[in-house]
Structure 1
Amino acid sequence: MHEKRIGILVEDDFEDLELYYPYFRLIEAGCKAEIIGSRGRDYYKGKKGLSIRKDVAIEDIMPKAYDGVIIPGGWAPDKLRRNERVCSFVREIYNQGKLVASICHGPWVMISSNIVKGHTMTATAAIKDDLINAGAHWEDKAAVRDGNIITSRNPHDLPAFMKEILSFID
């Protein structure tokens, strides 16, 4: 696999495993995994206490330079979805037919980016109604791939989630 550049969105209170597991799996697969945060911040703290340093600010990047984006869960998506630059980035990656993947509460960002209508998706059951109300079709499965959107429910589903992601970007 030639080096793919995949952004991973970060904000405080990310679900630690849902960020670190994809990050290291992407690197193992030969991808360039970049942690994307906000300008003016260097470090973000996860729900379980792990911290991560951002590689690049969302304000300084262009979607055309990336092959995809991953949105980890936790409480971070509730903060990320309020940032129009984040939503614009996700929407443009989607419109270019590139990978848009999210797990747990991550689809909140996809809802706010207006890209879920008509897609079959999954997520934590806590946001099932949010997805349905935004026009998505809900499935309770470990991982769901619909076009260039890949979604998953929780940390226990990470192997299935990453299997779909790596298959998509190969």
Structure 2
Amino acid sequence: MKKIAILIENLFDERELIYPYFRLSEEGYEIHLVGSQKDTAYNSKSGLTETSTHASKDIAAKDYAAVVIPGGFSPDFMRRTKETVDFVKEMNKLQKPIAAICHGPWMVASAVDIKGKNITSFYSMKDDLVNAGANYVDEEVVIDGNIITSRSPDDLVPFVKAIIEAVEKD
């Protein structure tokens, strides 16, 4: 069974974590909620609590088929943890799918050289991504190599479809 890591930290967007969690579970993937700490309760923007199943320091990219990075403010917390950044860097080195939605590309920009990459995000992050060298594209799903990005919860259905297609290609 293929494993997919969904990163979690405080102030995650609940839709961007919950929808991929259940859709990818329905497809038969084993889903791990990976935070900076294992068995830790993290709060969403609206107060929903979800608990991590794994700590980023305890996992290896070689064991995962993909990583999903939900938005909200959580990507800013994710990139403060070296082991989480290192995990995403290693996923990129292995050319495994890195899927980030809304503010998730903050984490991508901290872990991956995005110069010249086509990327989308929540519109307010356009300047951040352009200043990091990315080509900002305003589309529901943008795929550039192993990087899959979407703009907002409105794009969740095509975002998760793109993740499934990428994981099934491997």
Which TM bucket (shorter chain)? over 0.9
The residue aligned with 2:61 is 63
The answer on whether the counterparts of 1:11 and 1:79 sit within 8 Å (CA) in structure 2 is yes
Identity, % of aligned positions: 45
The residue aligned with 1:120 is 118
The answer on whether the counterparts of 2:38 and 2:52 sit within 8 Å (CA) in structure 1 is no
The residue aligned with 1:15 is 13
What pairs with 1:30-109 in structure 2 (closer than 5 Å)? 30-39=28-37, 42-109=40-107
Q: Which amino acid letter does the alignment assign opposite residue 17 of structure 1? A: R
SS at match of 1:6: strand
Q: CA RMSD in A?
A: 1.1
Shift of 1:39: 2.4
Shift of 1:150: 0.2
Report the Cα distance in structure 1 between the residues aligned to 2:113 and 2:79, rounded to whole angstroms. 13
- Of the structure 1 ranges 30-39 and 40-49, higher mean CA displacement relative to structure 2 is found in 40-49
The answer on whether the counterparts of 2:33 and 2:52 sit within 8 Å (CA) in structure 1 is yes
Shift of 1:40: 6.1
Aligned residues: 168
SS at match of 2:127: helix
What pairs with 1:154-165 in structure 2 (closer than 5 Å)? 154-165=152-163
Shift of 1:83: 1.4
TM-score scaled by length of structure 2: 0.95
Q: Which amino acid letter does the alignment assign opposite residue 3 of structure 2? A: R
The answer on whether the counterparts of 2:99 and 2:148 sit within 8 Å (CA) in structure 1 is yes
The answer on whether the counterparts of 1:91 and 1:115 sit within 8 Å (CA) in structure 2 is no
Q: Which amino acid letter does the alignment assign opposite residue 145 of structure 1? A: I
Report the Cα distance in structure 2 between the residues aligned to 1:93 and 1:119, rounded to whole angstroms. 16
- Runs (4+) off by over 6 Å: none
Shift of 1:41: 5.4
Report the Cα distance in structure 2 between the residues aligned to 1:116 and 1:32, rounded to whole angstroms. 28
Q: Which amino acid letter does the alignment assign opposite residue 87 of structure 1? A: V
CA change 1:146–1:40 in 2 (3 A) is closer
The answer on whether the counterparts of 2:78 and 2:84 sit within 8 Å (CA) in structure 1 is yes
The residue aligned with 1:147 is 145
Q: Which amino acid letter does the alignment assign opposite residue 121 of structure 1? A: I
Which consecutive residues of structure 2, in runs of 5 or more, have no partner in the other structure? none
Alignment match of 2:129 (pick from 128, 131, 136): 131
SS at match of 1:39: coil
CA change 1:156–1:165 in 2 (3 A) is same
Q: Which amino acid letter does the alignment assign opposite residue 124 of structure 1? A: F
